[in-house]
Amino acid sequence: MGELLVKEKEIVVPGEELAKGMSYLPGQGCYRKDDEVLSSKLGLVNVDGRAIKIIPLTGTYNPKRNDVIIGNVIDVSLYGWRIHTNSAYSAMLSAKDATNEFIEKGADLTQYINLGEYVAAKIIKVTSQKLIDLTMKGPGLRKLAGGRIIHVNNNKVPRIIGKQGSMISMIKDATGARIIVGQNGVAWIQGDPEGELIAINAIRMIEEQSHISGLTDRVKEYLDKACKGRPKRAREEREDDNNHQGEQNE
């Protein structure tokens, strides 16, 4: 009979024994050696029935299909744009997937999206050689004008967004800022200067404390305190932003 050697949500390191016996199965971030299950990543233990998996706490972004990411344009070619994805691999945004407008053959693509600009785009394909294709057709996907870009730990993005987008909506409601958090750990924030700062602080707080329970209450407390005396802002034109992000959360 199998025996679990660690507790749920415990922090484990590579090479640590998680369970003995064949009745437990190694999931993501684990491997089997003889009749033991060992960890192969630094992270939190998650036991789901017989399967054990590790939720990573660190690590660079690994591109996945259907992820919404925020990227920087690093090159403009004849047919599209090359986008830096904050991972080891850059992505291709084809002109045909970028806009519904008709783009004439040989047109200067920089008049649509220029070098150095940021876009919110969705990954439609990742090959085994990590060639990535992006699209900008979809709700909330667009060129990002104005606002500011911050980098966050990409492993904490699901925590920043929260269940069904609850956490991010809370920050947006409190600060009046528009926020898009890309799965690759790049976030775009636009609002009045003070609101932007409060939103950044809240996001940093989530990043640091996400593995400690009671996070939502602490963030709420912080936001209430920080936003005291600020005029309440109406929720304007944010229907297109992050409302669909809840679905991406696991």
Min dist CB 183 to another protein, Å, is 15
CA distance 248 to 57: 18
Residue 78: closest CA among 98, 62, 95: 95
The yes or no reply on residue 130 touching another protein (CB under 8 A) is: yes
Is 100 or 128 the residue whose CB approaches another protein more closely?
128
Supply the minimum distance, in Å, between the C-beta of residue 197 and another protein: 20
- Of 59, 77, 108, 239, the one binding another protein by CB under 8 A: 59
Among residues 87 and 242, whose Cβ is nearest to another protein?
A: 87
Q: Quick check: 211 binds another protein (CB under 8 A)?
A: yes
Q: Tell the smallest beta-carbon distance from residue 87 to another protein (Å).
A: 8
| Closest residue by Cα to residue 208 from 148, 149, 150, 159 | 159
By CB under 8 A, name the one of 8, 208, 239, 247 that touches another protein: 208
DSSP 211-227: TSS-HHHHHHHHHHHHT
- Cβ neighbours around 156 below 10 Å, total: 20
* Nearer CB in complex with another protein: 93/177: 93
Judged by CB under 8 A, the stretch of 53-61, 99-107, 135-143, 158-166 that binds another protein is 53-61
* Binding of residue 13 to another protein (CB under 8 A): yes
Cα–chain center distance at 84: 15
CB of 210 to another protein, least distance (A): 10
Separation CA 233–CA 248 (nearest Å): 27
Applying CB under 8 A, the span of 58-66, 132-140, 170-178, 187-195 interacting with another protein comes to: 58-66
3-state helix, strand and coil shares in percent for the chain, rounded to the nearest 5: 25, 30, 45
Q: How far apart are CA 205 and CA 215, in angstroms?
A: 9
- The residues in 90-119 that bind another protein, with binding defined as CB under 8 A, are 90
At position 38, the amino acid (one-letter code) is L
Q: Among 23, 58, 66, 110, indicate the residue that binds another protein (CB under 8 A).
A: 58
Q: Which two tokens stand for residue 71?
A: 């990227």
> Out of 2, 27, 89, 244, which residue is the one contacting another protein (CB under 8 A)?
89
**Is residue 128 at the binding interface for another protein, with CB under 8 A as the rule?**
yes
Residue 193: half-sphere exposure toward Cβ, Cα within 13 Å:
0
- Among residue numbers 145 through 174, which ones bind another protein (CB under 8 A)? 155
Nearer to another protein by Cβ, of 9 and 163: the residue is 9
Q: Report how far residue 82's alpha carbon sits from residue 72's, in angstroms, rounded to the nearest whole number.
A: 8
| Residue 218, number of CB atoms within 10 A of its CB | 15
Chain residues in the site for another protein (CB under 8 A):
11, 13-16, 29, 31, 33, 38, 40-43, 56-60, 62, 87-90, 128-130, 155, 208-209, 211-212
